[in-house]
Structure 1
């Protein structure tokens, strides 16, 4: 015996258009209707209409927009999660049915910032190699500005980098959502101190990334210091996250690091978390690729694979939240 609820669900299944879900996935990834339209090679009104049709079909508001602020509703987050799972299953089915995948040959050149600390990313690389053992992978570690410049010159397949200013010629999607906080090391006088406030830090010397200049990729860290009125000197700088971490541990000064990178350091009491408790800035790592680049079969297989990974795992899962 069918109930009104099961009949309604069957009606929804029959009338739901997968293309609308696919469009919604891209809108959520780009966090912008206009950027989603560019990625899908559609007009902005067409993408807006697709979003409205999906909302009408589901009877729910999925996205709230106030000026430039883009915020998915609770229903929108759930639809995004479920649509990602559906997309991942469909993509895996295609791979399973294509017995030619192991015959793909070629080279993928990937540019990346240092310390791409993500178990999901590691598993993706393993899965890709199993599926395409004859594809050679070249990974080069660079500064974010160098990665953007190389992609604009069309000299690489894709990049994983910080990119605060969107580039018209680059497709940009958030791959890791990092939260930066302030830490000191075991050799610093504030190590182990409880009950500290931001005011207690204002005169402390700082260890700084070279990209913490205003307008650069880590400028939110410099903006926070300026807004709070920090007066201590910058006593050590580096472009390397590992070297910044090392200098903070050594007691040169306090400094900012991504929270997920230093979990083990906190457990081993190599580093100490300082206020504010909520951290100071979000600095995301984006998957970047040149829009007009004609991809080889190997490159497209790599990008399709990482796309499936992004659909399957949420941003929190990609950081390996524990």
Structure 2
């Protein structure tokens, strides 16, 4: 009866607010996403904690930390809202008639909770469609697609090949980070000026015109003069080098949150991050799409993966 009472009285909108706070990393960012005031977000969080008679978030911690019951509540909330999206999937009574296999080429380490939600939605709406998914570098994906490989690609891109169609899916926000073994990790008062001469870890694809060139543009326009102490083409190796103190570097924030690296890395100023790197879906202009490929592209574009 106690569980029944809570289920009957709990305001599900408050769970949506909790998800936004956790996914965005702060109350202010959640307010921007939900298009409400920070005060309203704080009040909704307080109301949820009162209804559950439990503290969910530890105040005044950076990055944001959940209590054990907060973690469990977040998991329940995410499950509920994933199931809600499946209601939309039931629209279109003939969706079960589409069947076959879609070959997807996907860049590694693309973390976006809404992309996960889309895959849940798509699987429920089109249960007879199979995904053949291969992870490759963005450069390899674009090269494969330019050869009219029967596939659809999701990746970053610097130069846009003229023979490929593309649609923007979302922007991956990059922030500056230092690691546990770097002197800045334990600095109490830290400003952006403190970073201007620090050594850097850089990606090979940060060259002007390449996929991560917005990072280089930021460095140049903000007079960051530190030396590059290591280059890599691998995100995991970049994390390793940053963690071990070889230098500071730019990393996608959603990746850090998803892989629970907050205790090993420290996000540095500026608070708003340094660059948005767009993620696109690509397919060849002169290769006829199969009905299920066309449907996949249509659905993922309409789903709105921005966060």
* TM-score normalized by the length of structure 2: 0.64
Deviations 1:234-274 (A, max 9, x none): 22222222321232122221000122222367884221121
| Change in 2 beyond 3 A, CA 1:268/1:282 | closer
User: Residue 266 of structure 2 is aligned with which of 263, 272, 288?
Assistant: 272
User: Residue 301 of structure 2 is aligned with which of 289, 303, 307?
Assistant: 307
1:183 matched to 2:181: no
Instruction: Give the gaps of 5 or more residues in structure 1.
Output: 1-87, 317-322
Partner of 1:139: 133
Partner of 1:223: 217
| Change in 2 beyond 3 A, CA 1:211/1:270 | same
User: Residue 232 of structure 1 is aligned with which of 193, 202, 226?
Assistant: 226
1:166 matched to 2:160: yes
Q: Report the count of equivalent residues.
A: 222
CA RMSD in angstroms comes to: 2.6
Q: CA deviation at 1:164?
A: 3.2
Contact (CA 8 Å) 1:210, 1:239: kept in 2 or not? yes
Partner of 2:115: 121
Secondary structure of residue in 1 paired with 2:256 = helix
Secondary structure of residue in 2 paired with 1:191 = helix
Contact (CA 8 Å) 1:183, 1:273: kept in 2 or not? yes
Deviations 1:282-305 (A, max 9, x none): 111112222332112232232233
Contact (CA 8 Å) 2:105, 2:136: kept in 1 or not? yes
Partner of 1:287: 281
Partner of 1:30: none
Contact (CA 8 Å) 1:110, 1:156: kept in 2 or not? no
Contact (CA 8 Å) 2:169, 2:278: kept in 1 or not? yes
| Change in 2 beyond 3 A, CA 1:138/1:189 | same
Q: CA deviation at 1:186?
A: 1.0
Partner of 1:41: none
Deviations 1:35-74 (A, max 9, x none): xxxxxxxxxxxxxxxxxxxxxxxxxxxxxxxxxxxxxxxx
Partner of 1:7: none
Contact (CA 8 Å) 1:265, 1:271: kept in 2 or not? no
User: Equivalents in 2 of 1:107, 1:265: separation in Å?
Assistant: 30
Contact (CA 8 Å) 2:89, 2:125: kept in 1 or not? no
Partner of 2:105: 111
Partner of 1:298: 292
User: Residue 97 of structure 1 is aligned with which of 93, 96, 101?
Assistant: 93
Secondary structure of residue in 2 paired with 1:190 = helix
Secondary structure of residue in 2 paired with 1:177 = strand
Secondary structure of residue in 2 paired with 1:183 = strand
* TM-score normalized by the length of structure 1: 0.61
Partner of 1:71: none
Instruction: Give the gaps of 5 or more residues in structure 2.
Output: 1-84
User: Equivalents in 2 of 1:133, 1:177: separation in Å?
Assistant: 29
User: Equivalents in 2 of 1:277, 1:97: separation in Å?
Assistant: 46
Partner of 2:192: 198
Q: CA deviation at 1:107?
A: 1.9
